[in-house]
Amino acid sequence: MTTELPVPSKESAHSLLRPGSRIFVAGHRGLVGSAVARRLADDGHEVLTRGRDLLDLRDAARTETYLKEVRPDAVVLAAAKVGGIMANSTYPVQFLEDNLRIQLSVVAGAHAAGTQRLLFLGSSCIYPRLAPQPIREESLLTGELEPTNEAYALAKIAGIVQTQSYRRQYGASYISAMPTNLYGPGDNFDLETSHVLPALIRRFHEARRDGAPEVTLWGSGSPRREFLHVDDLAAACVTLLEAYDGDEPVNIGCGEDLTIRELAETVREVTGYDGRIVWDTSKPDGTPRKLLDVARLNALGFTPKIPLRDGIARTYAWWLGQLPPGQ
Ligand SMILES: NC(=O)c1ccc[n+]([C@@H]2O[C@H](COP(=O)([O-])OP(=O)(O)OC[C@H]3O[C@@H](n4cnc5c(N)ncnc54)[C@H](OP(=O)(O)O)[C@@H]3O)[C@@H](O)[C@H]2O)c1
């Protein structure tokens, strides 16, 4: 996992994704897949999609048949079984097996269909629990995983090794990326299963609506985390598809973190809630810091465009548009 491969310059590698390519986005209804599909369509590519109702990507034979029918020039694999700590620890079998099966179907199916280019999405949460910060790509597989999502992480690591193996054995231009925490339109606002940012938006929105004097949040607020708007993630994916053809995964983040306390204050302001925030320090904080090293991505010419506050405001506006009147 430590071999450093040269990163081709953006100019020399543009041919990796021709204009007007036909690209299958697996998981196009999800947070990531929907943003990637929007971006590719805006860039003039033909986006191919197939909902889970018509094609369960765990079914390798049907996935291969579909991919051989449509013969995409490229595939973005953004379909996965995804969830928070609770879901991961309750359903480790599904997190392991569904993800392994989706990856086996889609990557092997794409190869069988003659697809030259594939982007597999890993995640920053599959790095070792105690990886040095900011986390470099070389940290993968150098230490113990976070026990709460071990099954998910192992499946995702297998996906990365799978894309690397197709490169080594067949010379396929298959690559993988490691996004940081993402947010944006299409996010999950269910308090049982959501990530921290949509959960904060919902908690403050409801507190304002109900006139609650205070909102209690878990922990001390001191852990530092990084957040990237999903439209910036989609732009980074396009940069990688156009310009990167290396063996190692590439981190996708903004390169900056903030405390959960600062995040909560920002969300409170954006939602217009003027009550108090109370920190319940009897609850655990989790890892003190999680930030990706994005030097490799920056060397390809990518920088994110959406400041966190604007991104949160846009996400809040999107979610308000989804709510029934009066909510
Ligand atoms: N969200 C983040 O903060 C984040 C951060 C880092 C990395 N990532 C990575 O990005 C990828 C996508 O995550 P996401 O947040 O976009 O997840 P998501 O919103 O849950 O979307 C996942 C998509 O996969 C589809 N899918 C799941 N199982 C399927 C199956 N058996 N057959 C067909 N489709 C299936 C889902 O279809 P349905 O719509 O039918 O359920 C959904 O469209 C994952 O690999 C994740 O690890 C996400």
For residue 15, the model assigns a pLDDT of 65
pLDDT in tens, 52-106: 999 999 999 999 999 999 999 999 999 999 988 888 889 999 999 999 999 999 9
Question: Cβ(185)–Cβ(314) under 8 Å?
Answer: yes
- 306 pLDDT higher than 90: yes
Residue 135 DSSP label = B
Q: Residue 15: phi, psi to the nearest 5? A: -65, -10
For the four alpha carbons of 128, 93, 101 and 25, in that order, the dihedral sign comes to: negative
- 9 pLDDT higher than 80: no
Q: How far apart are CA 24 and CA 76, in angstroms?
A: 6
* Residue 13 pLDDT class (50, 70, 90 cuts): very low
Residue 6 DSSP label = P
Cα 34 to averaged position of ligand 1 atoms, centre (Å): 10
For residue 324, the model assigns a pLDDT of 87
CB atoms within 10 A of CB 171: 9
Is ligand 1 within 6 A of the CB of residue 182? Answer: yes
**Ligand 1 atom having least distance to the Cα of 121:** 45
Query: Stretch 111-119: mean pLDDT, rounded?
Result: 98
Question: Cβ(183)–Cβ(198) under 8 Å?
Answer: yes
Residue 152 known to be catalytic: yes
Query: Stretch 188-202: mean pLDDT, rounded?
Result: 92
Residue 142 DSSP label = S
Query: Stretch 301-319: mean pLDDT, rounded?
Result: 98
* Pairing between β-strand 258-259 and β-strand 224-225 as defined by DSSP bridges: antiparallel
- Rounded to the nearest 5 degrees, what angle is found at the Cα of 32, between the Cα atoms of 197 and 187? 35
Q: What is the largest CA-CA distance in the chain?
A: 61
Burial of 76 per CB tally in 10 Å (0-12, 13-18, 19+): buried
Is ligand 1 within 6 A of the CB of residue 63? Answer: no
pLDDT in tens, 218-235: 999 999 999 999 999 999
Is ligand 1 within 6 A of the CB of residue 97? Answer: no
Query: Hey, which of 24, 52, 94, 188 would you mutate to test ligand 1's pocket, going by the most ligand atoms within 8 Å of its Cβ?
Result: 52
Question: In which region does residue 236 sit, left (phi positive, over 0), alpha (psi from -120 to 50) or beta (all else)?
Answer: alpha
Closest by Cα among 100, 44, 53, 45 to 77: 100
Q: Which helix (H) or strand (E) holds 256?
A: none
Which pTM does this prediction carry?
0.94
Cα 274 to averaged position of ligand 1 atoms, centre (Å): 35
Closest by Cα among 191, 188, 212 to 271: 212
pLDDT in tens, 275-291: 999 999 998 888 889 99
For residue 5, the model assigns a pLDDT of 46
- 6 pLDDT higher than 50: no
Query: Could you tell me the two tokens for 73?
Result: 């020039």
DSSP string, 269-321: HHHT--SEEEEETTS----SEE-B--HHHHHTT------HHHHHHHHHHHHHH
* Domain architecture of the chain: domains with CATH: 22-185+227-256+290-307 (3.40.50.720)
Query: Hey, which of 82, 100, 157, 292 would you mutate to test ligand 1's pocket, going by the most ligand atoms within 8 Å of its Cβ?
Result: 82
Average pLDDT, the chain: 94
Q: Kindly name the residue from 66, 127, 152, 316 that is annotated as catalytic.
A: 152
